[in-house]
Structure 1
Amino acid sequence: MLNIADTLHHWCREARPFALATIVDTSGSTPLPVGTSVAVHEDGDVVGSISGGCVEGAVYELCRQVLADQGAPRRARFGYSDADAFAVGLTCGGELDVLVQRIDPAAQPHLVTVLAEAVGGRAVAMAHVVDGPADLLGSLASVLGDGSVAGTDLAGNTARAVTDQTRAALRTGRTARSTLGGDADTCPERLSVLVHVAATRPRMLIFGAVDFAAALSQAGRFLGYRVTVCDARSVFATPARFPHADEVVTDWPHRYLEHTEVDARTAICVLTHDAKFDIPLLRLALDLPVGYVGAMGSRRTHDGRLRLLHDSGVREEQLSRLHSPIGLDLGARTPEETAVSITAEIIAQSNGASGSPLAQRTGPIHQLSGRAVMGTPGLNKTTQAMVSSQRSPEWAAFRVPQP
Structure 2
Amino acid sequence: MTTDAALVDLAALGDDFTRDPFPVYAALRARGPVHHVRMPEGHTAWLVVGYEAGRAALADPALSKDWRNIAPDLGIFRISSGVSMLSTDPPVHTRLRRLIAREFTMRRVERLAPQVQRITDDLLDAMLPLGAADLVDAFSFPLPITVIGELLGVPFLARDSFRDWSNTALSSNEQAEREEAANRLTQYLVELLAQKREQPGDDLMSGLIHAADTGDDDRLTPEELIGMAWLLLVAGHETTVNLITSGVLALLTHPDQLALLRARPELIDDAVEEMLRWDGPVETPTYRFTTGPYRVGGTTVPGGGQVVLVAMADANRDPDRFPDPGRFDITRDARGHLAFGHGIHFCLGAPLARLEARVAVRSLLERCPDLALDAHPAALSWRGGMLIRGPERLPVRW
Question: What TM-score, normalized to structure 1?
Answer: 0.22
Question: What TM-score, normalized to structure 2?
Answer: 0.22
| Structure with the largest fraction of helix | 2
| Structure with the largest fraction of strand | 1
